[in-house]
Amino acid sequence: MKRIRTAAAVALLILTCVARAAPLPPSPSLSEVIAGPQRTPAFEARDRYRHPLEDLEFFGLKPDMSVVEIWPSGGWWTEILGPYLRARGKYYAAAQPPLRDTAFHNKLAAAPQYYDRVIVTEAGSPDHWRIAPPGTVDLVLTFRNVHNWLAGGYEKKMFAAMYRALKPGGVLGLVEHRAAPGTTRADWVKTGYVSQDFVIGLAREAGFRLVAKSEINANPKDTKNYPKGVWTLPPTLELGRKDRAKYLAIGESDRMTLKFVKP
């Protein structure tokens, strides 16, 4: 009887080891996801301005990472991050509270084969900063949001929340409309363009260290001097038909692309 029990225990141990050693399901490549059928055509048309492959490679995205995106809005980046991280990683969509964006939730529910593992959390005013469990995240991403935080007066809280969520050695990847030198905070709030030096200072004050800059999203055609600020340009085209061809020829805004690390 003792021998039988011993053999059974050994067999169980072998099965457990085999199960633990089983390979993780394969993940599609980033290029495959960006070209995938889940992409909304209108979103995909903006790739030439947003450079998703170049951005995400610059920030060091890998399929087994735990990633937070701040304010997914209509889900432009969700269409890439959700499927890419689904098999082996974790994707937190840190939405702007209150969590009533029916269109975003409907988007997730309509395509569970891509989005069933998306974790929706909260990030924003006045007191919602539960973007992910503290110290668990490899990468936090934020795209063109800092001007909104400045308008709300909670930019320091947001940088603190992003820092808190990251592991030591984790990365903050940030893209923002870039202001001309000599502009003020009031200008940044009004126009949507923010000083790159100011953003770097905010991150450093929160504890981050700047490790790299990129001109992936630079646009030298952008003069940054428009009646409706950055929203004069596509995709918003706030002036409607007025000078539409002119603003379409300029394209989307000139943007800073910054990579920080949590020491």
Neighbouring CB atoms inside 10 A of 17's CB total 10
**What is residue 34's three-state secondary structure?**
helix
CB 213 within 8 A of CB 229: no
The token pair that represents 121 in the structure block: 């959390």
Question: How would you classify the pairing of strands 255-261 and 166-177?
Answer: antiparallel
Q: How confident is the model at residue 25 (pLDDT cuts 50, 70, 90)?
A: low
CATH number, span 28-261: 3.40.50.150
Q: What is the pLDDT of residues 85-97, one digit of tens each?
A: 999 999 999 998 8
Question: CA-CA distance, 8 to 85, in Å (whole number)?
Answer: 38
Q: What is the pLDDT of residues 215-261, one digit of tens each?
A: 999 999 999 999 999 999 999 999 999 999 999 999 999 999 999 99
| C-alpha 166 chain-centroid distance | 14
| C-alpha 53 chain-centroid distance | 13
Is 80 exceeded by the pLDDT of residue 105? Answer: yes
For the chain, state the CA radius of gyration: 22
Mean pLDDT estimate for the chain = 91
pTM (2 d.p.)? 0.90
Backbone CA torsion sign across 186, 227, 200, 262: positive
Question: CA-CA distance, 241 to 247, in Å (whole number)?
Answer: 10
Please report the pLDDT score of residue 57 as a whole number: 98
- Domain limits of the chain? 28-261
- CA 94-96-98 angle, to 5 degrees, is 115
